[in-house]
């Protein structure tokens, strides 16, 4: 099924499809098989139908995401559905949805379920979960990337039009790249993190997985907004720029600073990417990447680790054996 937002919207406007039709078909196509360990909690058909039927008396023109199915990383709250952060003993059932989830539902989007992740959104591989390692959408022998692993694979395999993840230090972009998706990390504070289990509170962002940049932009438009409940929330002060100069400059690390870890295909692919950027009008400039690596090492081995520990310290100290 083609789940791109514009395609679904055209079907709804023409009367060829209803939200109820969509969720029935989607539920049947997803089925009961979860051999890739994508889901922690799928919504039942009845739960999705309740949301779908509620839409069917409303004006499509007023709802930019009318009948669009989406998945939610299971460290983001969906009302009356448990949030686990991939730790069963940490689980709680929220009375209300995270602000960003509620805004998407109000825009017409339909939740499909809560997705698997590296526990407490800590990891970049998608394997650190008691619910099983999430498997890559192209080859189940490969890792999916993490920590928003299930969010990426659910979209890549046609189970949702888009999904929400989180991105503190790559958790939204890494799995997107491993599964051929658009992974959008918005400006910090643009999407509310109220109702999101914190990792590093001063860095956490809700991210978007989509099939195209156009879809990601549509989701962002509905999801963004200032939230008084989020101390880090900020208002967007400019519109999204969609037209760029034809010429641009991009940096390429010094040859001796490149590391491909014995992957024989990657050096050629890296060169191809540089040539592609040049063909689009880019000018390659050699840069010294060492200061960036040193800064990253200092942060990852110091304050970010401390802040992440602080986010779950009480739980960790009371139930250390629950950590996967």
Active site residue 194: no
The token pair that represents 165 in the structure block: 């993840």
CA distance 225 to 206: 13
The token pair that represents 163 in the structure block: 């999904």
CA distance 182 to 211: 6
The token pair that represents 197 in the structure block: 């289990």
Active site residue 148: no
* 185 secondary structure, DSSP code: -
Catalytic residue among 97, 171, 192, 233: 171
227 φ/ψ angles, rounded to the nearest 5 degrees: -130, 115
Task: Say if residue 197 is exposed, middle or buried (CB neighbours under 10 Å; 0-12, 13-18, 19+).
Answer: buried
243 φ/ψ angles, rounded to the nearest 5 degrees: -120, 125
- At 69 the three-state DSSP class reads strand
Q: How many residues does the chain have?
A: 324
Task: Say if residue 223 is exposed, middle or buried (CB neighbours under 10 Å; 0-12, 13-18, 19+).
Answer: buried
CA distance 258 to 125: 21
Catalytic residue among 129, 137, 144, 147: 147
Give which of 3, 47, 1 is closest to 162, Cα–Cα.
3
Cβ proximity of 223 and 188 under 8 Å: no
Cβ proximity of 252 and 285 under 8 Å: yes
**Which residues are identified as catalytic?**
73, 147, 171
């Amino acid at each position: 099924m083609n789940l791109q937002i514009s395609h679904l919207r055209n079907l709804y406007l023409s009367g060829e499809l209803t939200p109820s039709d969509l969720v029935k078909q989607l539920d049947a196509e997803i089925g009961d098989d979860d051999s890739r360990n994508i889901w922690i909690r799928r919504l039942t058909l009845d739960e999705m139908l309740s949301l779908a039927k509620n839409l069917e008396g409303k004006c499509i023109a007023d709802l930019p995401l009318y009948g669009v199915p989406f998945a939610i990383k299971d460290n983001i709250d969906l009302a009356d559905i448990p949030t686990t952060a991939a730790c069963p003993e940490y689980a709680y059932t929220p009375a209300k949805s995270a602000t960003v989830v509620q805004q998407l539902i109000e825009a017409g989007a339909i939740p499909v379920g809560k997705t698997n992740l590296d526990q407490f959104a800590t990891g970049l591989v998608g394997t650190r979960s008691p619910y099983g390692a999430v498997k890559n959408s192209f080859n189940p022998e490969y890792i999916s990337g993490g920590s928003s692993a299930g969010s990426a694979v659910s979209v890549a395999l046609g189970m949702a039009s888009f999904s929400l993840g989180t991105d503190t230090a790559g958790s939204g972009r890494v799995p997107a790249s491993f599964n051929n998706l658009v992974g959008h990390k918005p400006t910090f504070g643009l999407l509310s993190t109220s109702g999101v289990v914190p990792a590093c509170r001063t860095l956490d962002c809700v991210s978007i997985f989509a099939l195209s940049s156009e879809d990601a932009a549509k989701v962002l438009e509905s999801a963004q907004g200032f939230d008084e409940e989020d101390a880090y929330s900020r208002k967007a002060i400019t519109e999204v720029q969609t037209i760029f100069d034809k010429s641009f400059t991009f940096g390429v690390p010094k040859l001796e600073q490149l590391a491909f870890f014995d992957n024989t295909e990657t050096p050629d692919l890296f060169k191809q990417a540089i040539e592609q950027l040049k063909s689009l009008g880019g000018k390659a400039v050699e840069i010294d990447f060492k200061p960036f690596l040193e800064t990253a090492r200092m942060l990852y081995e110091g304050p970010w680790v401390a802040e992440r520990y602080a986010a779950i310290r009480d739980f960790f100290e009371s139930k250390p054996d629950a950590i996967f």
